[in-house]
Structure 1
Amino acid sequence: MKTALTIAGSDSSGGAGIQADIKTMMANGVYAMSAITALTAQNTTGVAAIQNATPEFLAQEIDCIFTDIEPDAVKVGMVSEKELIKVISDKLKQYKAKNIVIDPVMVATSGARLINEDAVDTLKKELFHLATILTPNIPEAEELAQIKINNSKDMIKAAEKIAKTYNCAVLCKGGHNQNDASDLLYKDNEFKWFHGKRIDNPNTHGTGCTLSSAIASNLAKGYDLEESVFRAKEYISGALAAMLDLGKGSGPMNHGFAITNEYTKVK
């Protein structure tokens, strides 16, 4: 069985972060492992509190994983302190990690900011250049490229700038009212659009976490980057189309929409 590691924050409501990553990886047929960067007290309406792991403990988590069950892919999500970012960078280099998918999580779906301002510079300097692919949404791409994105041409310009700055592939996610949920993959000076049908579902908690974990899962299984993005997009469309409706705010998706067997039956 192929394996994948998520390095991210925990979501107590189960829709995003570590919980979404593990559900996604399992649903995509890989063995999931986790190194938790922070505990968050949150639900579908917002984030109430964040308790970060210590750098020493995060280092021990990652050491325990790589020295026993080596990951075939790594997804990095929420990391809100520069000391933790440095630990992740050092460990990924130490263990020569492969297939690294970095979701530059800066703002939650609910609008809550999930990263300290001084940590953004550390992300750029220490971590992004290790990525196989970065998966920013429109607001994150604007911040990373330092340009305003108003249309498809702007998405291409931003993705190209980010890719050349950090020497990696970039998936610029168009879910923030751009291009009817179409995403742009920029890789090796070429770009490809992945056109998705916008699904009328307000419950989008954890979409970014889920997409990046699905990409990592498919890279772990040996698919190339383009096919991994395509398969991840198909998976997230299915999870949204299942129309799960939980919570009072922007609720979670049904990560297990395609898992149907004797053990999933409801009485």
Structure 2
Amino acid sequence: MVTPNIYEAEILTEKSIKKKAHLFEIAERLINLGIKAVIIKGWQSSSFIWDFFFDKNKKVFLKKKKLSGNFHGTGCAFSSALLSYLMHGFDPETAFKKTKNWLYLKLKKAEKEKIGGKLWLFL
């Protein structure tokens, strides 16, 4: 499984992501390399941030409302939490959903407390 953000996914596949449909193409390219599941993080619309889970059988988009604040370390926190859920026996799709919800709750708490910067300071 790989968990690139938009920029990293573009570098890995040498393809630009200009619209949401491109996420399917990028994920397919990565799956065709032998990767079993792909999570592309950070597609943004005006009000939401979307993350995308893709394997050979499923395509799942999850969106959360954009939060104010400037958070660093969210990709690392996401990957660590995802691994934790996987190690506890959750299937990849469920681990993805649980990770997205867990991280969003942490970011909402940080937003409420007006804490920005490095995420690990508030976890």
Q: 1:171 to 1:158 in 2, by over 3 A?
A: same
Within the alignment, does 1:251 sit opposite 2:117 as a pair? yes
Distance 2:90 2:13 in 1: 28
Within the alignment, does 1:207 sit opposite 2:78 as a pair? no
Within the alignment, does 1:233 sit opposite 2:100 as a pair? yes
Corresponding residue number in structure 2 for 1:183? 51
Gaps of 5+ in 2: none
Corresponding residue number in structure 1 for 2:90? 223
Provide the identity percentage.
29
> Would you say the 8 A contact 2:23–2:40 is kept in 1?
yes
Distance 2:82 2:10 in 1: 22
- TM-score, normalization: structure 2? 0.86
- TM-score, normalization: structure 1? 0.41
Within the alignment, does 1:196 sit opposite 2:30 as a pair? no
1:99-153 Cα deviation digits (max 9, x unpaired): xxxxxxxxxxxxxxxxxxxxxxxxxxxxxxxxxx100000100011111101110
Q: How does 1:59-138 map to 2 (within 5 A)?
A: 133-138=1-6
Distance 1:214 1:241 in 2: 17
Q: Secondary structure at the match of 1:171?
A: strand
| AA partner of residue 151 (structure 1) | K
Distance 1:209 1:200 in 2: 19
Corresponding residue number in structure 1 for 2:7? 139
Distance 1:144 1:241 in 2: 31
For these two proteins, the number of residue pairs brought into alignment is 118
Distance 1:192 1:135 in 2: 14
- Max radius of gyration: which structure? 1
Distance 2:117 2:42 in 1: 20
Gaps of 5+ in 1: 1-132, 256-267
Distance 2:57 2:32 in 1: 9
Q: Secondary structure at the match of 1:185?
A: strand
| AA partner of residue 236 (structure 1) | L
> Would you say the 8 A contact 1:214–1:232 is kept in 2?
yes
Distance 1:170 1:178 in 2: 20
Greater per-residue helix proportion: 2
Give the deviation of 1:174 after TM superposition.
Answer: 2.2
1:189-222 Cα deviation digits (max 9, x unpaired): 43111122211222x1100000011110111111
2:25 pairs, out of 157, 168, 171, with 157
> Would you say the 8 A contact 2:2–2:35 is kept in 1?
no
